[in-house]
Structure formats: C-alpha cells, structure tokens
Structure 1
C-alpha cells in the first residue's frame, strides 16, 4: 500500500512551503544525479513528464536515445532538514524510463526491483541493515579536502578523544527527521573514523537510504568544517572503511528462513544462500568494491575480509560472510566485503540474486565453517577478470549495464596502471 498519493504531495508542498523538489536518480556507479524543479512544475513531474538527456549520464550514453523520463516514487518524498526552512527543498527518488515509456534496463533502481520481484515469486522477503563507516577529515587553508586529522580517538572512545561526537549527533538528528530509525553510532578504531547504523528495513528501501545517508553525512560534516569521506582506505597503516550488509530473509508467513526452529541451528536455506554468495563472490567484487582504492582495504591485518569463506565465529574478521550470534527470528547473514563507494542498488541486487541462485539450485558451501573456499581479488584488475567470466552477473545486471560497467572499469584500471605513484618515487628513484 502506498504511503502518499499525488494529492498528498501537493498538499505537503503547499503546507510546508516547499519551493524546490529534486528528482533524484543515479548513474551506473551510484553517483547521485538530480533535476531540480520549482513547485510550480510539480504537476508535470508527478505526471512523469520530466525529461532529461540520457547521453550525458555516466554509463547511460551509448544505449540511450537521448530523451529519457523520470518517474517519481511518491513514497520517497522527503523534505531536506538541513536546507532553509523558508522555501524548503524536498526530494523524490525516480525510476528512469525510455522515450517510449518503458523502464530503462540500465536504471540501477529498476535492476534492484527486478531482483526483488524474483524473490517475491519465490515467496521471500528481505530486510537489510548496512553498517556504513566513514572518516571526518580537515580541509586545508584553501578549502580543499585532506586525509589528515588532529584527532587520535579509537574504538568506542568518547569526547574529548572523540572529536566527532557532535558531528555524529547532528547527522543522526537530521537522519531521524528523514525517517531513519538509528540503532547506534560510535567512534571506529582508526582516528577520525566513525560508524552510524540504522535498523533493518525492507530491501526495496535500503539502497535509497544509503544514497540519502551518504549525502546527509557529507552535508552535515561540511557544516561543521570537516570533510566526510567514504573512501575505503584514505590513509595507509590504519583500518579502512567498509559497508557491511546484514541480511534477514522471511517466507510469506513472516518466518525467518535462515533458522531451524526445532533446534535453533542454521537452516538448509541459509547454507544455500551462503553457497550462492560464495560461488559468485569474485565476480561481484567489481561492483561491491568498485575502485582501485577498494583493494587497499581488503588486505590481512585490518579487520577486512580477504577470504571467500563463512564463519560463525565473531573473532574471524577475514571471512567474507559472518553469521552473528543472534538466533531465532534475529538470525542474519553479514556480508563484510562491500564498501560505500559502490552503487548500492547494483551491489544489493547482485548479493541477493546470488543468494537466491543458491536456494534455487540447492547449493551447499564448498568449504566448511571457518575454512576458505578461495580468496577475494587482490586488485581492481583481478576483479575485472573475474567479473567477465561469470555469466550470472550479466544475467542480473542486463547486458547493457554489464558491458558499460566493464568498459568504464577497464579504462579506470588502465589509467591507474599508467600512473606513477609517490610510493614508486620514494622506493626506486634513489636506487636506480
């Protein structure tokens, strides 16, 4: 059942003095895009008449015919609490349609919805809660972001060691105004590193929430004179930032399918789901960990996964999938390799589709609890190779998105390989 009707949106816009509405979507990499309209143009937008040039959007280009349309999701309407309260700014997430009024197959949001429809046909519903980590760094004297901080806080520290406490508080208050149910927040293990967690939500909403979360964190941090970054490894020698994704799955009766109710052990379907993710993990990594820097985080010794394995041990931080200790209705799987630079729609679609593949094929993990099936790619180049060899990824993303994504990532890897880094200069210039 829908939360809002068109009439509701018109009424709220008038009552709340909303002057501008942002019609938001994203490119193939999850970079937020929007068209801002004045409230006087709201009727046209709600009639799905807002058009944009798809050729100009990263990853759409060669497959679009230019004219594309935004179809607003009325239930995603929210007013930005950090913007002026006179002449307010609101936003709605949109699905992208082609000129002939058909869903655009390269629309990330639609790719996720297609995966969730597949789950519906199997009688399954998912709830997810991601754990997003980020750093709060200083700006330099010219106002440019840096990767430096004067803070020396550590895991679970409080003020004055935790100098970001008030920033987190402000972020949380703004997120709660946007409908987030925040479960906890804390200082992470590295200086200036933080984490804010929200409670599990329907899988159809979570990717939108991640997009909103990233925008809110960056916006509020800047108001406090700090630069927020979700870059996985902005500083060497310390732990990087990830985006663990916790997954709960329910049948049509609302029962958690990951648990055997009789003896409180993991169910066969839980192991099927685990097996599907393990089998496709290498190929999915290009999407869940999409940039060169992602692979500086996925190294031993920094609480990040390196092994394609599963574990019920809370001490095993190198496993790709961890099964938290909670059982019964709270049984969940934690996928530990993604980072917040990913396109959340594509990453979640692939992870859920991989688990569904395991259930449909009745797969069993090739490795035992705590043992390794394989290792994750070590570089973006290795991730590209794995991505190309698994037809499952192309099936989930669709051929055009699969090919466009691959093309851009090959170019990114080529650019990096031709770049001479400061590490090379320091290591070799004085020797050779």
Structure 2
C-alpha cells in the first residue's frame, strides 16, 4: 500500500519538518523546486496539489495559460540531508487545472503515462530500468560566451595535464594516465571517500545502492544504483544527481553529468 496524505502529515510531525520542498522536473531533465512552510501543508493540499505559474519554465506554458498544478506523488517522499533545518522533499507531477490530466510536456508525467500504456496493451505489467549514471568531478570550471571570446577551461588534480604543475604542498604525481582510471586504488583514485559519502547519503535517503568506483577517464566516477520501475528509477536518478552535486560542492569540487 502507498502513502496516504495522513501518512505524510505524520511524517512531517515525526521528523519535525520545517520546510516541504516541492520538486518537479523541467523539460531539460533538471530538478526545480519551491519551498513551502510546513505549517500550511494539510491533507487537502497534498491530495489536490499546489498551484504555480508554468509560463517561466522554458518550453512550457504561454503567459496567458500559465496556471498549472504541482501534484505530489505521496510515495516519492525523501528527507533532504543537506538542509540546515529539517526539510521534506515531495516529488510532483504537473497537472492541467482545466481537466486534471497529466501535462504532456512534463517528463515525469510522460513516464507515468508510459507505464500506464504498457499495462493497457497487455504486453507486460512492469517496466524495470537499471541506469548507470556517470559523472566528472572538477576542481575548477570556467566558461564564457561573449562578443570577443568564447570557450571553456576545466581543471582537476587528477587530469594528466597537471603532471608538471607546481602545488603548494608539492606534486605527488599519483594520477590516472589518459583512459587509465579503471580501477587503480588510492592515491591514484583520489575520490574514494567522496564517493563513499555520496553512496551513504543516498542509502540514508532510501535509494538502493550497491557500489562505487572510478571510471575510465581521469576525474570520472560512477556510483551503482540498482534497478527499479520506470518512474521510481527516474525519481531516484534525480536524487542521485542532487546528492552527487551537493556532496561534491561540500568538498570544494563541482560535479557534472554532461556527456563525456
């Protein structure tokens, strides 16, 4: 059985939640959010959803038809481990206020409809997906696109370009060669503890994790998340990306899931 609105209200009280962070996915696949005071959250709003202006989300509504509803999936509830005060994350579908249908440009709603369509065909009951999200972590990222110049520059202690660089504490020389990051131990693998903290944080949030390791390229990494149903896994990947970028940031690094 899934969570009811009363179950979520009980969770808010048990965890002494101060903020309920309402999150949805934009057309580019990026999590967006707004933070609601926990005091205004009741069973009615959990069941009916939150009204918001969809006209400022790129690729969505025109200004004259901007009203949309954020309707929480009450089984997609997480506690945010990075908030300074207790905060609950509610993952939402986007709903049309006129007829209550799932919005056709909302990626999560598309996933929900895809699962429903599969069942309606009789071909199968469940879609299982097992993704392998990989990412890079860098110490420094610069980019610009102006009238007189355009470009980017990345740097990380693991990159082969730093073999001759002067560091304040000396250059230790332990770094993967080009395409040599699969799987040397530390100190060549410089991020064992960072990845371990990422995995531990995801497990704390309820994600089914099984491993982590360095990937082929310098500064490239992967964490193992096990399979689940389509929409369930899509939500977990959003949590995965959020945790990776937050933990990396805490260590003074920046993480990116852009194509390698």
* Alpha-carbon distance, 1:29 to partner: 1.1
Residue 224 in structure 1 maps to residue 224 in structure 2: no
Match of 1:97 among 91, 95, 98: 95
Segment of structure 1 superposing worse, 57-66 or 179-188: 57-66
Deviations 1:316-374 (A, max 9, x none): xxxxxxxxxxxxxxxxxxxxxxxxxxxxxxxxxxxxxxxxxxxxxxxxxxxxxxxxxxx
Using structure 2 for the length normalisation, give the TM-score.
0.82
Deviations 1:242-295 (A, max 9, x none): xxxxxxxxxxxxxxxxxxxxxxxxxxxxxxxxxxxxxxxxxxxxxxxxxxxxxx
Match of 1:203 among 230, 243, 255: 230
Partner of 2:168: none
Structure 2 SS opposite 1:175: helix
Partner of 1:215: 242
Whether contact under 8 Å (1:171, 1:220) holds in the other structure is yes
Structure 2 SS opposite 1:45: helix
Partner of 1:260: none
Structure 2 SS opposite 1:77: strand
For residues 132-171 of structure 1, what are the structure 2 equivalents within 5 Å? 132-139=133-140, 147-151=154-158, 152-153=175-176, 154-171=181-198
Using structure 1 for the length normalisation, give the TM-score.
0.50
Pair 127,31 (structure 1): closer, same or farther in 2 beyond 3 Å: same
Residue 193 in structure 1 maps to residue 250 in structure 2: no
Pair 24,64 (structure 1): closer, same or farther in 2 beyond 3 Å: farther
User: How far, CA to CA, are the matches of 1:111 and 1:209 in structure 2?
Assistant: 16
User: Runs in 1 of length 4+ with deviation above 2 angstroms?
Assistant: 61-64
Partner of 2:171: none
User: How far, CA to CA, are the matches of 2:82 and 2:246 in structure 1?
Assistant: 8
User: How far, CA to CA, are the matches of 2:76 and 2:117 in structure 1?
Assistant: 22
* Alpha-carbon distance, 1:203 to partner: 1.6
Deviations 1:38-57 (A, max 9, x none): 10121153142411111111
RMSD: 1.9
Partner of 1:75: 75
* Alpha-carbon distance, 1:195 to partner: 0.6
Residue 180 in structure 1 maps to residue 180 in structure 2: no
User: How far, CA to CA, are the matches of 1:146 and 1:219 in structure 2?
Assistant: 22
* Alpha-carbon distance, 1:81 to partner: 1.8
- In structure 2, stretches of 5+ residues that fail to align are 143-151, 159-174
- In structure 1, stretches of 5+ residues that fail to align are 233-239, 241-432
Q: Give the aligned length.
A: 227
User: How far, CA to CA, are the matches of 1:45 and 1:148 in structure 2?
Assistant: 46
